[in-house]
Structure 1
Amino acid sequence: MKIPQIDLKDYEYKLGEDRIAKYPLEKRDHSKLLQYKSGEISHQHFYDLPDLLPTGSLLVYNDTKVIPARLIFQRETGAKIEIFLLKPVFPTTVIPEIMVSKLPVTFETMIGNAKKWKEEEVLRGQLVVEGKTVTLSAKIKDKARKWVQFSWSDPDMSFVDLVEASGEVPLPPYLNRKPVEEDKARYQTIYSEKEGAVAAPTAGLHFTQEVFERLEQKGIDKTQVTLHVSAGTFQPIKVDQVQDHPMHSEQIIVTKATIQALLKSLGAVVAVGTTSIRTLESLYWYGVKLLENKGEEFQIAKLFPYENRTSLPSPTESLERVLQHMDKMGADSLMGETEIFIFPGYEYQMVRALITNFHQPGSTLILLIATILGEDWKKVYQEALERDYRFLSYGDSSLLWFRT
């Protein structure tokens, strides 16, 4: 693929503050649902989704679980220090493993009010976990890299216990409000399972058990991937050349069972959210990497898909190569990282349709939507604005079919 010249101004639109959904609807599946198919737009509700998907479709959703990643400490002087967890550093970079650690852990962070936190100063806070009073401590391990070490007084407690008890829900900055009790449940999908995300895979927030039951009755299967969403998902593009925008790596996990399900359903895969689509496309490119003998590490660089190639393997060839590698390693799941950047000029390999919310103007996610809809993304977003759709994380949904 050739990297095209992209003018970010072509991917802007006017989004008023009043169009941003600050709070979720009472009923998850009562959000509006805009369907784009063969150039035509129709309007339903999310509970209509089973009627819109063909029998035999395979839904792929992201089962990551949002952790309360915003930790607030208070200095003896009274100044508050906010520590936002980004990526694990030590004793492991594997998110599921570090969350259950009972020994001190170190994270790369963002620090609010950092100038008031002296490098040698240990911050401490007391909290109650399962009826026990525990002291959680934080100290700077590497100021330049914003590495912070956390330790706690009860060796029977795991790090996730402390975070769940003390952290705040990391709501997106554009909501411009403090989290409330309701957010603990609503900024989480009903199928969230693996702790590690600092932002929700919001396309999945609309699903209910009733919707899943109707999908099953219609013969629509589902499978899961894991992508632990990073704070980079909110990072605005500030560079002249779009391809120079830094994409933060995100940890992904895919099981052998999921790959086998994908092989049976190629051509009928519906991704739930941009995180799922990035995972699926990264999986394809991992197979390409193996076929091209470019290393066995499951790590997809930002622009790897855009490298010059005379031909590409089919999705079947790529996935089968991944399975061969897993059989050789005796592995039932793959863990890796991806920085994949999907913008106009990208050619999808794995997905037929995408379920997603409405995204910020001039964002990496709008660029992803434009790869699916082409110039029609403007028509879709204008229609949503005119029809009073609610935008962004707690907003309404869309079902976008790829152009054929």
Structure 2
Amino acid sequence: EKTGAEIEIFLLRELNRELRLWDVLVDPARKIRIGNKLYFGDDDLLVAEVIDNTTSRGRTLRFLFDGSYEEFKEALFRMGETPLPRWVREKVEPEDAERYQTIFARHEGAVAAPTAGMHFSKHLMKRMEIRGIDRAFVTLHVGLGNFRTVDVEDLSKHKMDSEQYIVTDEAAEAVNAAKREGRKVVSIGTTVMRTLETVVSTHGMIKPMEGWTNKFIFCPYEFSVPNALVTNFHLPYSTQLMMVAAFGGYECVMNAYKAAREEGYRFGTYGDAMLIL
């Protein structure tokens, strides 16, 4: 409104369903102020008002929409695009909206895909089932913190963004049964690892819970639940790489990364994966 500036809005978190309140990122952030109205679409179907500046880049928006909640969400999905990471966008293809998703995704809420899970196809899941490999599903809504590099020398001073998790009774029982029977518990990705290490009890068993976690795992750390990890090759200075180094051992993981670079493995979102036993 008034300035005609073009900006990008990244929807991060729904704060209030009835009031249509959302935490968002704005790029470029300097273009808007509290009270500004934002118009989306050629017919201005969606209008949002800036009601708060939460961080240097973040904002809280109130969408002004007269229809039902279902109509509002339909408009968001119709007008919005899949929020691919910037280093993927240059090669965006029409099927990315489907590819940038795990086959077992169920609950809306993450701002990025948990990339280790993207290596699993329905065919692979069936082969695992035939071989008697049990599986359990937990939810961790990947947050913005996954894209922030660590810029402090003292890692204990790094602050992780809180992420919402859900561990059901069924998932907890499946993991605990495997631990009681001495079977391997394989974490598919750092998101699963952070979830399990958040809900573990003092006895080494996990508890069915829902909540928010800002757990940051780095060396040295004694893991209580998983004893194997499938994970992508992560980017430098990332919290994911630090967690992987804590799990696999710094020297071992760095040697694996050196080999990955020499062999031309792919890093990041659509990259290759490694199995740490």
Normalised TM-score (structure 1): 0.63
Q: Secondary structure at the match of 1:224?
A: coil
How far did 1:176 drift?
5.6
Q: 2:19 aligns with which of 104, 107, 110?
A: 104
Please, which of 186, 206, 213 is the counterpart of residue 270 of structure 1? Answer: 186
Partner of 1:396: 272
State the secondary structure of the residue aligned to 2:218: coil
Q: Is the 8 A contact 1:169 1:179 kept in 2?
A: no
SS at match of 2:45: strand
Q: What residue is the counterpart of 2:29 in the other structure? A: 114
Pick aligned residue for 2:203 from 294, 309, 314: 314
2:49 counterpart (125, 139, 143): 139
- Quote the residue 1:85 is aligned against: 11
Matches within 5 A, 1:141-220: 141-145=51-55, 146-155=59-68, 157-175=70-88, 177=90, 179-220=92-133
SS at match of 1:84: strand
Q: Does 1:339 pair with 2:214? A: yes
Q: Aligned partners of 2:136, 2:54: CA distance in 1, in Å?
A: 41
8 Å CA contact 2:167, 2:209 repeated in 1: yes
Q: Aligned partners of 1:158, 1:251: CA distance in 2, in Å?
A: 25
RMSD: 2.0
Q: Which structure has the higher relative contact order (CA within 8 Å, separation 6+)?
A: 1
Following TM superposition, by how much is the alpha carbon of 1:181 offset from its aligned partner in structure 2, in angstroms?
2.0
Task: Give unmatched runs, 5+ long, in structure 2.
Answer: none
Cα gap change, 1:240 to 1:253, in 2 (>3 Å): same
Aligned residues: 270
| Structure 2 residue aligned with 1:22 | none
1:378 to 242, 254, 259: 254
The offset of 1:212, in angstroms, is 0.7
Q: Which amino acid aligns with 1:315?
A: G
The CA deviation at 1:144 is 4.3
Query: What residue is the counterpart of 1:356 in the other structure?
Result: 231
Distance 2:143 2:73 in 1: 17
User: Distance between the aligned counterparts of 1:234 and 1:136, measured in 2?
Assistant: 28
Range with bigger deviation, 165-174 or 222-231:
165-174
Letter of the 1:263 counterpart: N
Which is higher, the Rg of structure 1 or of structure 2?
1
Task: Give the deviation of 1:206 after TM superposition.
Answer: 1.2
Kindly state the Cα deviation for residue 237 of structure 1 after the two structures are TM-superposed: 0.8
Letter in structure 2 aligned against 1:79: A
1:222 is paired with a residue whose SS is: coil
CA distance in 2, matches of 1:144, 1:373: 37
With normalisation by structure 2, the TM-score equals 0.90
